[in-house]
Amino acid sequence: MNQEEKLARTIAEACLNEKALNVVVLDVHDLTVIADYFVIASGRSVIQVRSIIENVQETLREQNIYPSRKEGFQQGVWSVLDFSSVILHVFRQEEREYYQLENLWADAPRLLIESEV
């Protein structure tokens, strides 16, 4: 497992620790130059979306890993943390269904994460 995959899995686990819904890790490294992995997760409410983002940041801060960009936190309907090689998208469930980000990257292989085993 390379560093980027390890980071993506750590982010996914941190999302799951905050009861995120439908956590998906997409391997997009062959499809785009913007990142190697996308982690996509949902929250039931604005508060849960913010909690998921905060938990990911706290988990990675303990490893001295910080996002280069953070967008959408205040609104809490679609928040993004950009860790360069891994980009986390956390949606409120309604927005995720509307934007269907996974469908845009349907050719990307999905990584199996612990909760799916």
Mean pLDDT of 29-50: 96
Half-sphere exposure of 94 (CA within 13 A, CB side): 4
Q: Is the pLDDT of residue 44 over 70?
A: yes
The pLDDT of residue 76: 86
Instruction: Kindly report the average pLDDT of the chain as a whole number.
Output: 93
Judged against a pLDDT cut of 70, whether residue 52 lies above it is answered with yes
CA atoms within 13 A on the CB side of 91: 17
Amino acid at 114: E
CA 33 to chain centre: 17
R_g over Cα of the chain: 13
Beta bridge partners of 26: 38, 110
pLDDT the model gives residue 77: 92
Instruction: Check residue 1 and give its pLDDT.
Output: 78
pLDDT of residue 115: 58
Confidence of residue 117 (pLDDT cuts 50, 70, 90): very low
Structural domains of the chain sorted by starting position, each given as residue range(s) with its CATH number in brackets: 3-107 (3.30.460.10)
Residue where the block lists tokens 């309907």: 77
Per residue in 62-116, pLDDT (tens digit) is 999 999 999 998 888 999 999 999 999 999 999 999 999 999 999 999 998 865 4
